[in-house]
């Protein structure tokens, strides 16, 4: 248990009779940058709130650094930097006052000037009242408070939401730097290119259930392969019609197939038409994600 | 814990000053204008026998009765509005606007959050009453020469401070309702009904015999706004009763907040149920 930064066991949470998350067994290893993917309402925020002990599970357990999130929540939260998805701030305070207040209420106060460095990097003018900020600048305030205490675990709910591309990049740099300094990062995002760029592992949650947890490179190479063939003689239209294979394009330049299963059989068939060129086209995380959601069958898209 | 308390007081400072000065208006005006129409008050004495005035606890026979019926009667009622606004705004209001999520995500036990907010509410109510009491006492000093009375400015000051247990009880019931009900709107509606029913019920129970049996259920039963109370102070057992009510409400607020799913906005019995 202690090898994991985050571990949930059979975690289910219902809002009355409405499903929040269902039987989630999640493991995030120490040192991971873990991307938590899913559409709106899938259960990402609910899972993160359970980890923060903001809401309690109906059944199941959640552990952070081996400690029960409900029973030892205070000790756990000393080591966590948290950015809520629906960030609400004290609008009448200046950002500087708010940072000082929030810092003073933390336990591991070891670098009182760190919030100012973070604010500078994000280009945030801390002398202004929070109510005067745009939504992007308010999000920057949230980023600063999550990172200000150099936590061992960062739980970030859509951290780049509402930020411009340059600031998004800075936030991703902060994530990488925190990770290099030893922090585990658990964040949800809709921007899959961002997740692919920074995360080493991802979990995909659909309708409250965790449907996949894999290393990013495994997910993008193992889920399906996209192969483009050029042939000496053009195969008939139904040449590759079989379970686990989708022909996505056909033109004079060749045929593109998405191969989910039976790669060996596909290669045999292709060889029979005289392969003149073969190319494996990289599959993005976004495509994998859409494949999981495309037909609602847990990823078996073929 | 002290840091959190200081923050809570900082958040309330404008409200404390505003309510303190605003509420001071009542004693300053009522006490200040008494000498100019003291003689005319006799005309109204017959009117005071009307049930409506008795229901409102108003009896203006003499200066003491006038002060008791206006200042020490009205100020606590109006302060109860602040107690309801602040009590329900403290947990339920912050949850509704999302700020509570940030506080709960700090390494602070939930019981400490409730305790600190309770202390801050108590201090806020006390300071407001102290400001109002000071305003009343200063005005009293200014008119002492023109009014014949046994009541001193210190009596008026202390009689206003003595409303603290009542206001605190209302504040704590509101805080508990905020921790119990799904949102602030429901909590403040219930708390307002409690205050209104308590106020009218307490006054009416002196006139309607059937209400006497349940008069102890009304919070205002434990607070006297009479000329006698102005001179002799509130009864100790009544003040203890209000403090006990506050403590019970605090305990309930703790218990329900400890188990509350923050950000969900549900009644306690609407916690998750695994569907079959």
Q: Is the pLDDT of residue A223 over 80?
A: no
Interface test with B, best of A45, A56, A156 (most B CBs within 10 A): A56
Q: Is B106 on the interface with A (CB under 8 A)?
A: yes
Percent of chain A scoring above 90 in pLDDT: 58
The residue that leads in pLDDT, B92 or A262, is B92
Q: Is the pLDDT of residue A300 over 70?
A: no
In this complex, the residue of A15, A49, A82 whose CB is nearest that of residue B266 is A15
Question: So what's the pLDDT on residue A301?
Answer: 36
CA-to-CA distance for A216 and A285, rounded, in angstroms? 8
Q: Residue A113 — very low, low, confident or very high, per pLDDT cuts 50/70/90? A: confident
* Residue B31 Cα, gap to closest chain A Cα (Å): 37
Q: Is B275 on the interface with A (CB under 8 A)?
A: yes
CB distance A87–B98 less than 8 Å? yes
The shortest CB-CB distance from A54 to any of B7, B105, B107 is to B105
Structural domain containing residue A258: 224-282
pLDDT of residue B58: 63
B13 in contact with chain A, both atoms CB, cutoff 8 A: no
- Looking at the structure, tell me whether residues A213 and A252 fall in a common domain: no
- Residue length of chain A: 302
Average pLDDT, chain B: 88
In this structure, the answer to whether residues A79 and A165 fall within a common structural domain is yes
Whether residues A95 and A12 fall in one domain: yes
Min Cα distance A166 → chain B (Å) is 26
Q: Which stretches of chain A sit within 8 Å of chain B by CB?
A: 12-17, 19-20, 49, 52-59, 74-75, 77-78, 80, 82, 84, 86-90, 101-102, 104-107, 145
Contacts of B274 in chain A (CB under 8 A): 12, 14, 58-59
- Report the domain count for chain A: 2
CA distance A54 to B263: 8
Residue that is last in its domain, among A219, A238, A271: A219
Report pLDDT digits (tens) over A231-249: 888 888 888 888 888 888 8
Q: Which residues of A touch B3 (CB under 8 A)?
A: 104-105
Q: In what order do the strands lie in the sheet with A80-83?
A: A80-83, A153-157, A184-188, A33-37, A201-206, A209-215
pLDDT tens by residue, A167-194: 999 999 999 999 999 999 999 987 777 8
A49 and A173 inside one domain: yes
Beta carbons within 10 angstroms of residue A88's beta carbon? 17
User: pLDDT exceeding 70 applies to what percent of chain B?
Assistant: 90
pLDDT for B23: 95
Q: What per-residue confidence (pLDDT) applies to A264?
A: 87
Is residue A152 domain-shared with residue A267, that is, in the same domain? no
pLDDT in tens, B1-49: 788 999 899 999 999 999 999 999 989 998 888 888 777 766 666 666 6
User: Across the interface, do B104 and A54 touch by the CB < 8 Å criterion?
Assistant: yes
Report the gap between the CA of B68 and the closest CA in chain A (Å).
39
Q: What is the mean pLDDT of residues A161-166?
A: 90
Q: Which of A219, A242, A257 is the last residue in one of the domains? A: A219
Identify whether A56 is part of a domain.
yes
Q: Which residues of chain A lie closer than 8 angstroms to B273, CB-CB? A: 14, 16-17, 58
pLDDT (average), residues B123-151:
91
pLDDT at B82 over 90: yes
Q: Give the whole-angstrom CA distance, residue A238 versus residue A236.
A: 6
pTM: 0.85
Residue A296 backbone class (left: φ over 0; alpha: ψ -120 to 50; beta: rest):
left
pLDDT digits (tens, 9 = 90+) for B157-203: 999 999 999 999 999 999 999 999 999 999 999 999 999 999 999 88
A101 contacts in B (CB within 8 Å)? 7
Q: Residue A299: is its pLDDT beyond 50?
A: no
Residue A214 lies in a domain: yes
Q: Are A135 and A264 part of one and the same domain? A: no
Chain-chain contact of A105 with B7 (C-beta, under 8 angstroms): yes
A55 and A152 housed in the same domain: yes
The pLDDT of residue A241 is 87
Please check whether residue A296 lies inside any domain of the structure.
no
With beta carbons less than 8 A apart as the criterion, state whether A19 and B273 touch.
no
Tell me the ipTM for this assembly: 0.84
- Residue B13 tokens read as 């400072």
In this prediction, residue A3 carries a pLDDT of 77
Residue of A nearest to B7 (CA): A101
A42/A177 same-domain check? yes
User: In three state form, how does the secondary structure of chain B look?
Assistant: CHHHHHHHHHHHHHHHHHHHHHHHHHHHHHHHHHHHHCCCHHHHCCHHHCHHHHHCCCCCCHHHHHHHHHHHHHHHHHHHHHHHHHHHHHHHHHHHCCHHHHHHCCCCCHHHHHHHHHHHHHHHHHHHHHHHHHHHHHHHHHHHHHCCCCCCHHHHHHHHHCCHHHHHHHHHHHHHHHHHCCCHHHHHHHHHHHHHHHHHHHHHCCCCHHHHCCHHHCHHHHCCCCHHHHHHCCCHHHHHHHHHHHHHHHHHHHHHHHHCCCCCCCCHHHCCCCCC
* Residues in chain B closer than 8 A to A12 (CB atoms): 272, 274
- What pLDDT shows up at residue B100? 93
Question: For residue A287, is pLDDT > 80?
Answer: no
| Predicted pLDDT at A294 | 63
Give yes or no: residues A142 and A273 share one domain: no
Q: Which of A15, A72, A95, A131 to mutate to test the interface with B (most CBs of B within 10 A)?
A: A15
- pLDDT tens across A128-145, in order? 999 999 999 999 999 999
Of A82, A84, A104, the CB nearest to B3: A104
A86 to chain B, closest Cα gap in Å: 7
Q: Which residues does residue A230 pair with via DSSP β-bridges, in sequence order?
A: A277
Q: Which of A199, A219, A239 is the last residue of a domain?
A: A219
- B104/A52 CB distance under 8 A: yes
Residue A2's pLDDT is 52
Whether residues A194 and A71 share a domain: the answer is yes
Of A74, A88, A102, the CB nearest to B109: A74
Q: Give pLDDT, residue A296.
A: 46
* Band (A110; pLDDT cuts 50, 70, 90): confident
Q: Which residue has the higher pLDDT, B213 or B43?
A: B213
Is there a contact between B102 and A86 if contact means CB atoms under 8 Å apart? no
Give the CATH number for residue A236: 3.30.70
Question: Nearest-CA neighbor of A84 among B105, B89, B96?
Answer: B105
Residues A116-126 have a mean pLDDT of 95
Question: Could you report the per-residue pLDDT of B232-271, keeping only the tens digit for each?
Answer: 888 999 999 999 999 999 999 999 999 899 988 888 887 7
CATH of residue A49's domain is 3.40.50.300
In terms of domains, do A202 and A230 share one? Answer: no
Q: How confident is the model at residue B84 (pLDDT cuts 50, 70, 90)?
A: very high
- Residue A100 pLDDT exceeds 50: yes
Q: Over 80: is that where the pLDDT of A253 sits?
A: no
Neighbours of A266 (CB within 10 A): 20
Domain assignment present for residue A294? The answer is no
Q: Does B107 touch chain A (CB under 8 A)?
A: yes
Query: Quick one: A231 and A200 in the same domain?
Result: no
């Amino acid at each position: 248990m202690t090898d994991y930064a985050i571990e949930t066991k059979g975690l289910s949470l219902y809002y009355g009779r409405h499903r929040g998350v269902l039987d989630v067994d999640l493991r995030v290893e120490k040192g991971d940058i873990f991307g938590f993917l899913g559409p709106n309402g899938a259960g990402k925020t609910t899972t993160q709130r359970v980890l923060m002990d903001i809401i309690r599970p109906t059944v199941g357990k959640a552990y952070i650094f081996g400690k029960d999130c409900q029973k030892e929540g205070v000790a756990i939260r000393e080591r966590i930097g948290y950015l809520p998805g629906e960030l609400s701030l004290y609008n009448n305070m200046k950002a500087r006052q708010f940072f000082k207040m929030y810092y003073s209420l933390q336990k591991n106060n070891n670098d009182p000037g760190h919030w100012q460095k973070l604010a500078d990097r994000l280009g945030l003018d801390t002398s202004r009242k929070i109510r005067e900020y745009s939504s992007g600048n308010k999000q920057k305030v949230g980023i600063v408070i999550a990172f200000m205490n150099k936590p061992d675990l960062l739980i970030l709910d859509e951290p780049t939401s509402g930020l411009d591309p340059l600031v998004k990049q800075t936030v991703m740099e902060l994530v990488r730097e925190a990770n290099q300094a030893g922090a585990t990062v658990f964040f949800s995002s809709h921007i899959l290119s961002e997740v692919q760029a920074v995360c080493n592992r991802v979990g995909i949650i659909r309708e409250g259930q965790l449907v996949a947890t894999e290393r990013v490179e495994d997910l993008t190479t193992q889920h399906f392969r996209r192969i483009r063939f050029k042939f000496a003689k053009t195969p008939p239209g139904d040449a590759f019609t079989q379970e686990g294979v989708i022909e996505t394009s056909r033109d004079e330049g060749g045929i593109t197939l998405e191969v989910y299963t039976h790669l060996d059989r596909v290669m045999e068939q292709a060889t029979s038409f005289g392969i003149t060129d073969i190319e494996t086209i990289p599959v993005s995380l976004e495509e994998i994600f859409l494949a999981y959601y495309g037909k609602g069958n847990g990823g078996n898209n073929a | 814990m002290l840091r959190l308390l200081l923050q809570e007081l900082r958040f309330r400072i404008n409200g404390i000053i505003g309510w303190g000065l605003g509420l001071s208006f009542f004693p300053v005006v009522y006490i200040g204008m008494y000498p100019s129409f003291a003689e005319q008050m006799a005309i109204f004495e017959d009117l005071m026998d009307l049930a409506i005035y008795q229901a409102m606890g108003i009896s203006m026979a003499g200066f003491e009765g006038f002060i008791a019926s206006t200042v020490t009667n009205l100020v606590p009622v109006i302060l109860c509005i602040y107690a309801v606004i602040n009590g329900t705004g403290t947990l339920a209001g912050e949850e509704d606007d999302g700020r509570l999520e940030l506080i709960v995500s700090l390494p602070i036990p939930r019981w400490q959050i409730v305790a600190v907010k309770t202390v801050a509410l108590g201090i806020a109510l006390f300071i407001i009453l102290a400001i109002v009491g000071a305003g009343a006492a200063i005005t009293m000093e200014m008119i002492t020469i023109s009014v014949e009375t046994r009541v001193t400015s210190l009596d008026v000051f202390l009689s206003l401070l003595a409303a603290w247990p009542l206001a605190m009880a209302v504040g704590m019931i509101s805080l508990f309702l905020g921790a119990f009900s799904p949102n602030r709107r429901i909590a403040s509606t219930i708390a307002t009904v409690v205050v209104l029913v308590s106020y009218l019920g307490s006054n009416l129970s002196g006139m309607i015999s059937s209400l006497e049996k349940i008069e102890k259920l009304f919070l205002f039963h434990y607070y006297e706004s009479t000329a006698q109370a102005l001179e002799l102070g509130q009864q100790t057992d009544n003040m203890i009763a209000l403090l006990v009510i506050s403590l019970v409400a605090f305990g309930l607020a703790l218990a329900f907040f400890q188990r509350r799913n923050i950000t969900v906005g549900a009644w306690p019995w609407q916690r998750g149920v695994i569907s079959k």
